């Protein structure tokens, strides 16, 4: 996935106070907006540092195949705006 698309999705999540759901080659995880200290886009990976400092997640861009801005956790279907990338 391209860095500029990832940055766009991160900005959308931050501005909307929404959660960010990341699918990569191994797992799916949710970055909750109120638990994040920092989200950084580096040359080849995304780094998420949690507020408590106990967890730092690194995800390589090449392995991200879907990012979703989750605006409302109470309703799962139909509220997600996602950006996906086809595998190479």
pLDDT of residue 78 exceeding 60, the answer is no
The whole-number pLDDT of residue 63 equals 92
Higher pLDDT, residue 64 or 73: 64
Strands 19-24 vs 64-70: parallel, antiparallel or unpaired: antiparallel
d(Cα 8, Cα 20) in Å, to the nearest integer? 12
CATH match for 3-72 among 2.60.40.420, 3.30.460.10, 3.40.50.2300, 2.30.30.100: 2.30.30.100
Instruction: With 0.85 as the threshold, say if the pTM is over it.
Output: no
- Hunting for tokens 């860095």 — which residue is that? 3
20-71 pLDDT, tens digit each: 999 988 888 888 888 888 999 999 999 999 888 788 889 999 999 898 998 8
């Amino acid at each position: 996935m391209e860095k500029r698309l990832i940055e766009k999705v991160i900005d959308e999540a931050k501005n909307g106070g929404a959660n960010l759901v990341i699918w990569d080659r191994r797992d799916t995880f949710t970055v909750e907006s109120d638990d994040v200290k920092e989200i950084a886009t580096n040359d080849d990976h995304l780094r998420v540092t949690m507020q408590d400092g106990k967890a730092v997640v690194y995800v390589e861009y090449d392995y991200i195949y879907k990012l979703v801005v989750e605006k409302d956790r109470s309703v799962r279907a139909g509220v997600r705006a996602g950006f996906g990338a086809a595998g190479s």
